[in-house]
Copies of this chain bind each other. A is one copy, B any other.
Amino acid sequence: MSGRTHGEISGYPVGSTFLNRAQLAAAKVHRPLQGGICGGKDGAESIVVSGGYVDDEDYGDEIVYTGQGGNDPATKRQVGHQELTLGNAGLARNQLEGNPVRVIRGAGGDPSFSPPAGFRYDGLFRVVDHWRADGKDGFRIWRFRLVSLDNIDQPPIMDDAEVHAPTVIQRQVRSGPLAVKVKKLYGYHCQICDTRLETPAGPYAEAAHVRPLGRPHNGPDSLDNILCLCPNHHVLFTSGAIWIGEHLEVLDVATGQQAGTVRMAAEHAIAPSHLAYRAALHP
């Protein structure tokens, strides 16, 4: 089990305030005195959002958070590239495991959502996505979409109260009418490996949006942006483990080798611009 505390710190409910970083550290709500992310390769526990990064976007229940590194604390501008290591790797790991991070806002952040002074613990957020981008200052950054658990993770009611606390959503697959249309077009066969999962209630496949839906990507929910994949290839595709080139070749990012070709139905095409958008999200 991870030695990290993915959850609330006893005695510090949502809304708890702190005068400074030393108090936050003493409470173990955010342990490092300087870094914005408390985390490493094994996961992240907490982050501070305090206006230190020019690319941060705060929408209250949702935050597009910039990873750590390449930043000049004096000017808050990016002066170098960021890597998917240290705390950035931790936030990505949280997404894979479904573990939440504690979000602490500081007075320097977006005035609509930040405390007037000091720091405030604002609850648990889930890392729902991460991707690479070119920041406003022209350097490569990593971005993380965080959504408040209050908004999305209400578990079904259960009799056993003990089950409640530790359970988080690790993965959420969305669907809709167009997703079903694409899946039917391929008979629920994965366009990469041809697998068709047969269940007693019928075949199962998942729809993968090439250019992601939602802020800030705003990919369309349209046929030319949807692939039919088995769950395993869906995970590999959206995590950036595989990459689809302009000729629909599947590349294994770790080895750089081609690992197949996306099979397309005659009446279906993926827009090259969506493939290019997706390819730019992961190195």
A interface residues, Cβ below 8 angstroms from B: 1-2, 6, 41, 59, 61-62, 84, 89, 92-93, 95-99, 128, 130, 145, 147, 151-152, 154-160, 162-163, 166-181, 184, 195, 197-202, 204, 206-207, 213-216, 218, 220-221, 230-232, 234-236, 239-241, 253-254, 282-283
Partner of A199, one of B1, B178, B199, B240: B240
The answer to whether residues A221 and B166 also contact, given A180-B1, A232-B195 and a CB cut-off of 8 A, is yes
Q: How far is the CA of A198 from the CA of B236 in the complex (A)?
A: 7
Partner of A168, one of B41, B147, B174, B201: B174
| B residues less than 8 Å from A92 (CB atoms) | 200-202
Q: Is the CB of A84 within 8 A of B239?
A: no
Partner of A96, one of B93, B201, B216: B201
Q: How far is the CA of A173 from the CA of B231 in the complex (A)?
A: 12
Q: How far is the CA of A156 from the CA of B253 in the complex (A)?
A: 28
Which 5 A/B pairs are nearest by Cβ-Cβ distance? A92-B201, A231-B231, A199-B239, A166-B176, A170-B175
Q: What are 30 sample pairs from A and B whose C-beta atoms fall under 8 A apart?
A: A59-B157, A62-B157, A84-B200, A89-B201, A92-B202, A95-B201, A96-B199, A96-B202, A98-B175, A130-B201, A145-B156, A152-B154, A154-B154, A155-B174, A158-B214, A158-B218, A159-B214, A160-B218, A167-B213, A168-B174, A168-B175, A171-B171, A171-B206, A171-B231, A172-B173, A197-B239, A199-B239, A199-B240, A200-B240, A200-B253
Q: How far is the CA of A155 from the CA of B201 in the complex (A)?
A: 26
| B residues less than 8 Å from A236 (CB atoms) | 197, 199
Residue of B nearest to A150 (CB): B154
Q: Is the CB of B158 within 8 A of A98?
A: no
Residue of B nearest to A146 (CB): B156
**Closest Cβ–Cβ distance, residue A124 to chain B (whole Å):** 14
Q: How far is the CA of A61 from the CA of B154 in the complex (A)?
A: 12
Q: Is the CB of B166 within 8 A of A178?
A: yes
Q: Is the CB of A152 within 8 A of B163?
A: no
| B residues less than 8 Å from A197 (CB atoms) | 232, 235-236, 239, 241
**Closest Cβ–Cβ distance, residue A1 to chain B (whole Å):** 5
Q: How far is the CA of A174 from the CA of B171 in the complex (A)?
A: 7
Q: Is the CB of B172 within 8 A of A169?
A: yes
